[in-house]
Structure 1
């Protein structure tokens, strides 16, 4: 086994769970679930092909309630009826010591009435997203907010009973949890909005409810992660100062890791072009070793992952490259780096478990997968609107 890379070394969380290496498969939408949200055979095939190498494998996001569905082909953890498929998914992902993590969310205003079959999307406030054809959501009542928090708790219970090693709360990519923290989408004047403290409340209450489910149904080895996007470009919107203050609070919560969602691991501020310090470095300083960090974004080659680990970041997440090369870790371990595929041929889709729905989704998101035999996409905005680099 190759030992020259630090990312191949194990990591042990504070709760005693050891991850076999520092490579993470981030949550990547494949759009292949059944229409009702059940796990499909195509999804199981994809996960069977791509698991076993990384230390942690995070599922594509699952909605915790029917009205939280964000896109077609999205799996759901909203009802017990989905348990048979979720158990198969958990067992399929657990190969060769890989830990399986279920990412959970609701889409909020990033959904629409077509996807919700005639139901108006909901959010913190009646403010439409600044996206083409975005619908104005209905503002949630206090009782509905409390029910959503409960939905996250029940989703966590199901993930535990299905056999997952942990859950990741999706507080990034402009979805529901981020919408409550954002001053653009949250214009409320009650306890759920307005001040910085009130805008944090929704996420903190979800963390509490999730941990209650862990206490009730799991042992102390269950992992609870949190994913966050550092900035928004909207005005008003989330800026780095508020995010760093929020992260300072999150670092003292009962969570296992913090996953930083960016399209480039070393990205600097979207809003302050004069600030040349990488955002991940700012976050490292704020966390100050209280939580392990996962960094994602354009990490493709072993040298890219090693740069992340050598910088003191605990995990490197390999997104699009893991679609092209499901045996990335295994080849590095075997000293076969020269055989790693960095391009995706249209003739290889079936052997990679990429069905037509997944392929169409990637094309629709303009995800640059270095495809041979296809035109290069015009743009890659997956990081901001939530796409192939991580839901």
Structure 2
């Protein structure tokens, strides 16, 4: 098992000073046009110390990909100066800065898109309350979105980030193209598992091209995925293991599994071991794996590192901003381990973050 304070040199040459990462979390702190705010910069700066890397909340690569108000934007060059300020605020604390890039696809609404209909692989609504039926993307729109991921990567490089994470999880557009529930296309981007993977491959290729043509320093590219879907038809765990094999063949730096509990077992396929264990075995050392989900204590960190190379921490850092510092100093008794509902009313935080937390962490 690797140690928490061990450094890790990724394939790209980016070296993380330790094995702790801040998990990407939505805070709705950006301006209406996606520009980073001073509150947002302060939020990340406060939590970056002691971490190997910070992964920001999702930043949309196109206006049509905006998932919610207050979301980070990386779809315009005008956003680069404030993105640079954000990256710098993370760097000054000694952590690497990674911006997560995505397109919401059908997981948005007309109100967020100024009246425009959401788009997706196919005109199939998500199985959630008040979900709007999206419009199927044209081939030209698909190609434009692929190019937008490349352009967003160039902006991340220009802003001084150390990498991007492709958000292929939580039912957003990259996952929507791979899912048989949201992708009913009959063209080159739909049908078989291999064809549904085609959009993911094209996005990775565009991002890697941007890195090779633009980066003048080591620059990492990670990929986040969700292990299974509840819809029928939907992604099952054997589909995910197949996807892991495809991703392991790409020039990526790490794979990040989106989980709410690092001990979680798949609903089908591998009921004898955890999802993280199964994915790690499938990777067989080809890519570092990031584990996440309910990590709060040193014991949790060590539990994750038994089957992964990196640990991502979300809610604990939201309410205990100096958690990583306490861990490094051996001040475990000072780590907050009480209910998050209590911390919500005792931890100083900006108003937008407080509003977000009070809605989603009850």
- TM-score class normalised by the smaller sequence: over 0.9
| TM-superposed deviation, 1:335 | 1.9
| TM-superposed deviation, 1:342 | 2.5
| TM-superposed deviation, 1:284 | 1.0
**88-97 vs 141-150, which deviates more?**
88-97
| TM-superposed deviation, 1:325 | 1.4
**Residue number in structure 2 paired with 1:389:** none
**112-121 vs 322-331, which deviates more?**
322-331
The CA RMSD over aligned residues, in Å, is 1.5
1:159-170 equivalences in 2 (<5 Å): 159-170=156-167
| TM-superposed deviation, 1:271 | 4.8
**Residue number in structure 1 paired with 2:144:** 147
CA distance in 2, matches of 1:95, 1:323: 19
Matched, 1:280 2:276: yes
**Residue number in structure 1 paired with 2:343:** 345
The alignment's TM-score, normalised by the length of structure 2, stands at 0.96
Are 1:265 and 1:295, in contact at CA under 8 Å, matched by a contact in 2? yes
Are 1:108 and 1:122, in contact at CA under 8 Å, matched by a contact in 2? yes
Are 2:2 and 2:309, in contact at CA under 8 Å, matched by a contact in 1? no
String of CA shifts for 1:154-188, please: whole Å, max 9, x gaps.
Answer: 00000000000000000000000000000000000
Residues 143, 275 of structure 1: alpha-carbon distance in 2 compared, 3 angstrom cutoff = same
Secondary structure (helix, strand or coil) at the match of 1:110 reads: coil
| TM-superposed deviation, 1:125 | 0.2
1:1-391 equivalences in 2 (<5 Å): 6-219=3-216, 221-271=218-268, 275-309=271-305, 311-343=306-338, 344-350=342-348, 354-365=349-360, 367=361, 377=362
**Residue number in structure 2 paired with 1:372:** none
CA distance in 2, matches of 1:285, 1:151: 33
CA distance in 1, matches of 2:165, 2:344: 32
String of CA shifts for 1:336-367, please: whole Å, max 9, x gaps.
Answer: 111112345345443xxx322222222322x2
Segments of structure 1 that go 5 or more residues without pairing to the other structure are: 368-376, 378-391
CA distance in 2, matches of 1:181, 1:236: 12
Are 2:14 and 2:162, in contact at CA under 8 Å, matched by a contact in 1? no
Are 1:233 and 1:271, in contact at CA under 8 Å, matched by a contact in 2? no
The alignment's TM-score, normalised by the length of structure 1, stands at 0.89
Secondary structure (helix, strand or coil) at the match of 2:106 reads: helix
CA distance in 1, matches of 2:359, 2:125: 22
| TM-superposed deviation, 1:286 | 1.0
CA distance in 1, matches of 2:127, 2:12: 41
CA distance in 1, matches of 2:215, 2:99: 14
Are 1:331 and 1:337, in contact at CA under 8 Å, matched by a contact in 2? yes
